[in-house]
């Protein structure tokens, strides 16, 4: 399955992992969005259920198990090249989750990781999708944080 210049959108997952009032961010090592802060996630594999993909992607990227998965929403990530052609197109199913433990083992896909207050996201070089998600679902994120303090 081609990720660059795909023939159709690719289904993917993203996970906003919340511990207390903090969100786990990873700095992407590879395109798209290399060098930007984002959330763990990736493409859903053939035959894999979406929640299984959430757990697998988090495990692969940061070596962490998550629980209390809650569907947050769906985001279309469409990135065009300088000629206007679609270089990447993901339909990302976004989830909220809590970590089972705080032990993190980053993969080669992750340059570094941080725990950040939701209110501080605007101060970081985050992906456009995370910026839009945090604005669109601000109240829902605060509610989730409030329940998990």
Catalytically active residues, by annotation = 112
128-136 vs 138-147: helix crossing angle, rounded to 10: 80
Structure tokens at 71: 């569907």
Is 65:77 a contact under the CB 8 Å cutoff? no
Q: Label residues 49-61 b or e (16+ Cβ within 10 Å = b).
A: eeeebbbebbeeb
First-residue to last-residue Cα distance in the chain:
41
C-alpha 59: how far from chain center = 13
| DSSP, residue by residue, 80-98 | E-TTS-EEEEEEEEEEEEE
Radius of gyration of the chain (CA): 15
């Amino acid at each position: 399955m081609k990720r660059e210049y795909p023939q159709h959108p690719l289904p993917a997952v993203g996970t906003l992992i919340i511990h207390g009032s903090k969100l786990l961010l990873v700095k992407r090592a590879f395109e798209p969005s290399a060098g930007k802060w984002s959330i763990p996630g990736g493409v859903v594999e053939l035959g894999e259920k979406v929640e299984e993909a959430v757990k697998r992607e988090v495990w692969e990227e940061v070596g962490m198990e998550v629980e209390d998965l809650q569907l947050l929403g769906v985001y279309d990530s469409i990135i065009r090249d300088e000629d206007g052609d679609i270089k990447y197109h993901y339909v990302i199913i976004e989830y909220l989750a809590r970590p089972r433990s705080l032990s993190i083992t980053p993969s080669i896909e992750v340059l570094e990781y941080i725990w950040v207050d939701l209110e501080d996201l605007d101060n970081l070089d985050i992906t456009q999708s995370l910026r839009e998600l945090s604005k669109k679902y601000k109240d829902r994120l605060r509610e989730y944080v409030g329940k998990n303090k």
